[in-house]
């Protein structure tokens, strides 16, 4: 006879498998945003692109992501999280195959927009789905598997770009994205729908069955009742997003999106070689080496975050990471400011960039996606998350577009000090507004907000 512990062990493994498969959406997010940096060099040559067209090819994904995230919130609430991820996988698949075979630049840009649409949807539906299936004591780590996969996807893209650069095979660089897309599609077909979404669609029997499966056969009635309790309130569609008790949480999501992007992470992810060149490392080989170090530190420190989020909690990591970002950006700026005085300062620039990426990886990187998957009421969770996600992509786009202009206007030191200033504001913002959500059920968080109390008073 099976014991209860055996059942629990099995269901824990099953939940990890579910999260691991859904997080492939994160791998595709990272891969498809990262792969363009290497591919563009060869596309530019083959299609004789003007700078304007080159920019179009590079930013097609960001544009698609903004559109994808803005149109899909209602879809995730109506058709469900699992189905939305399956559609996303199909888009990733078509986009990968299409862009690898593209006969013209118009087809290529269209396929990249298609991939962008998929990224926009996947970026919030995957963490949403995982958060609704995970048991509260493992939710932080499991949801952040998605961020871990993003960082691995970026790393794999760098490696693939490097491997195919000898033969200028940009078509292979894009085409390989079809493999994880296929695994995601097939895998998701076999996974259960989110039990919380099932309750929101009034399918209680199925919700009970899924919950029993992911909670190790124990008593799930209490959890089911709590989820149902949040659905007994009156409905309000999109207008519910702007109710007085929801508005402040909406603001927190959008503000966190701002801080995640405006503290400059993607200037490092997209322009690491350029920054190393600024710092005085001349050769392409050195620049690629440096980029690999940045990618590796990003992955490793995200592993640390996955491990720590449910142990020490979200707030300590968020605040410590932001403090690290402030200091390292300040030092990076200073290294540029005084660079003419000593050649050794370029090593300080490298060191501070590595500390910066490590600090981001344990804080704003995973915690933005985690917090927005935790704080919104079930009935409008998809729509509210999509709003914070759109904000994230819009700020991402703006920072990427303005980085080189800002370094021209304010100087390199000025640019990093500007990001440091924003990180200080981010620290204060998180200190004042972000509560500790470790170990709380999603329903406890929702109940707390419904009762009219502030998000922050949930706990420290
Ligand atoms: C951010 C991306 C960023 C990535 C880097 C994600 O959480 O949303 O914009 O490129 O982290 O690891």
Tens of pLDDT, residue by residue over 225-266, are 999 998 876 555 678 888 888 999 999 999 999 999 999 999
Give the separation between CA 430 and CA 428, rounded to whole angstroms: 6
* CB of 302 closer than 6 angstroms to any ligand 1 atom: no
Least-confidence region, from 338-347, 354-363, 365-374, 400-409: 338-347
Q: Is the pLDDT of residue 52 over 90?
A: no
User: CA nearest 363: which of 432, 437, 304, 291?
Assistant: 304
Q: Confirm if 97 and 32 have CB atoms less than 8 A apart.
A: no
* CB of 147 closer than 6 angstroms to any ligand 1 atom: yes
User: CA nearest 291: which of 159, 430, 126?
Assistant: 159
Say how far residue 386 (Cα) sits from the centre of its chain: 12
Q: Say which residues have a Cβ less than 8 Å from residue 289's Cβ, sequence separation at least 6.
A: none
Q: Confirm if 458 and 440 have CB atoms less than 8 A apart.
A: yes
Distance 204 CA to ligand 1 centre (A): 36
Nearest atom in ligand 1 to the alpha carbon of residue 368 is 7
Q: Is the pLDDT of residue 269 over 90?
A: no
Q: Confirm if 351 and 360 have CB atoms less than 8 A apart.
A: no
For 172-186, what is the mean pLDDT?
A: 97
Mean confidence (pLDDT) of the chain = 92
Least-confidence region, from 114-118, 271-275, 352-356, 373-377: 271-275
Q: Say which residues have a Cβ less than 8 Å from residue 283's Cβ, sequence separation at least 6.
A: none
pTM of the model: 0.94
Q: According to the model, what pLDDT value does residue 345 have?
A: 85
* CB of 269 closer than 6 angstroms to any ligand 1 atom: yes
Q: According to the model, what pLDDT value does residue 89 have?
A: 98
Distance 401 CA to ligand 1 centre (A): 16
Distance 246 CA to ligand 1 centre (A): 26
Give the separation between CA 393 and CA 67, rounded to whole angstroms: 9
* CB of 265 closer than 6 angstroms to any ligand 1 atom: yes
Domains recognised in the chain with CATH numbers: 7-191+233-455 (1.20.1250.20)
Q: According to the model, what pLDDT value does residue 459 have?
A: 85
- The model's pLDDT over 122-170, given as tens digits with 9 standing for 90+, comes to 999 999 999 999 999 999 999 999 999 999 999 999 889 888 888 879 9
User: CA nearest 279: which of 351, 356, 361, 358?
Assistant: 351
Q: According to the model, what pLDDT value does residue 236 have?
A: 56
Nearest atom in ligand 1 to the alpha carbon of residue 151 is 12
Q: According to the model, what pLDDT value does residue 234 have?
A: 59
Query: Per-residue confidence at 286, pLDDT binned at 50, 70, 90?
Result: confident
Q: According to the model, what pLDDT value does residue 170 have?
A: 93
Q: Confirm if 125 and 383 have CB atoms less than 8 A apart.
A: no
Mutating to test ligand 1, I would choose from 33, 59, 266 the residue with most ligand atoms within 8 A of its C-beta, which is 266
DSSP class per residue in 172-240: HHHHTTHHHHHHHHHHHHHSPPPHHHHHHTT-HHHHHHHHHHHTTTS--HHHHHHHHHHHSSPP-GGGG
For 72-86, what is the mean pLDDT?
A: 94
Give the separation between CA 130 and CA 139, rounded to whole angstroms: 8
- The model's pLDDT over 287-332, given as tens digits with 9 standing for 90+, comes to 667 778 889 999 999 999 999 999 999 999 999 999 999 999 999 9
* CB of 37 closer than 6 angstroms to any ligand 1 atom: no
- The model's pLDDT over 83-116, given as tens digits with 9 standing for 90+, comes to 999 999 999 999 999 999 999 999 999 999 999 9
Give the separation between CA 268 and CA 257, rounded to whole angstroms: 17
Nearest atom in ligand 1 to the alpha carbon of residue 396 is 9
For 268-297, what is the mean pLDDT?
A: 79
């Amino acid at each position: 006879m099976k014991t209860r512990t055996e059942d629990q062990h099995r269901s824990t493994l099953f939940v990890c498998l579910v999260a691991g498969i859904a997080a492939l959406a994160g791998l595709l997010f990272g891969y498809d945003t990262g792969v363009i940096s290497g591919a563009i060099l060869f596309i530019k040559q083959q299609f004789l692109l003007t700078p304007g067209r080159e920019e179009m090819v590079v930013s097609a994904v960001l544009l698609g992501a903004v559109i994808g995230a803005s149109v899909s919130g209602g879809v995730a609430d109506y058709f469900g999280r699992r189905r939305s991820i399956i559609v996303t996988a199909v888009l990733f698949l078509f986009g990968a195959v299409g862009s690898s075979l593209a006969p013209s630049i118009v087809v290529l840009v269209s396929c990249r927009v298609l991939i962008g649409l998929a990224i926009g949807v996947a970026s919030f539906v995957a963490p949403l789905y995982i958060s609704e299936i995970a048991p509260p004591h493992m939710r932080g780590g499991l949801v952040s598997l998605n961020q871990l996969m993003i960082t691995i996807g970026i790393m794999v893209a760098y490696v693939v770009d490097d491997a195919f650069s000898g033969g200028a095979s940009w078509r292979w660089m894009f085409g390989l994205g079809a493999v994880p897309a296929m695994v995601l599609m097939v895998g998701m077909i076999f996974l259960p729908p989110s039990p919380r979404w099932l309750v929101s669609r009034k399918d209680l029997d199925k919700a009970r069955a899924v919950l029993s499966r992911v909670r190790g056969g124990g008593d799930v009635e209490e959890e089911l009742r709590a989820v149902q309790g949040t659905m007994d309130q009156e409905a309000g569609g999109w207008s519910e997003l702007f109710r007085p008790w929801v508005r402040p949480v909406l603001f927190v999501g959008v503000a966190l999106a701002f801080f995640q992007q405006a503290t400059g992470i993607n200037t490092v992810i997209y322009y690491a070689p350029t920054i190393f060149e600024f710092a005085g490392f001349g050769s392409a080989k050195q620049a690629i080496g440096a980029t690999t170090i940045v990618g590796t530190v990003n992955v490793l420190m995200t592993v640390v975050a996955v491990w720590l989020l449910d142990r020490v909690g979200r707030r300590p990591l968020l605040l410590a990471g932001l403090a690290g970002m402030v200091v390292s950006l300040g030092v990076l700026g200073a290294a540029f400011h005084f660079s003419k005085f000593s050649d050794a300062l370029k090593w300080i620039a490298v060191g501070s960039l590595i500390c910066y990426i490590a600090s981001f990886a344990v804080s704003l990187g995973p915690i933005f996606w985690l917090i927005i998957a935790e704080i919104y009421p079930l009935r409008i969770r998809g729509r509210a998350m999509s709003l914070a996600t759109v904000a994230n992509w819009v700020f991402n786009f703006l920072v990427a577009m303005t980085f080189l202009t800002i370094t021209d206007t304010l100087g390199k030191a000025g640019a990093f000090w500007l990001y440091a200033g924003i990180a200080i504001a981010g620290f204060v913002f998180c200190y004042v507004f972000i509560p500790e959500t470790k170990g709380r059920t999603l329903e406890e968080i929702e109940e707390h907000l419904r009762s009219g109390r502030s998000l922050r008073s949930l706990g420290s």
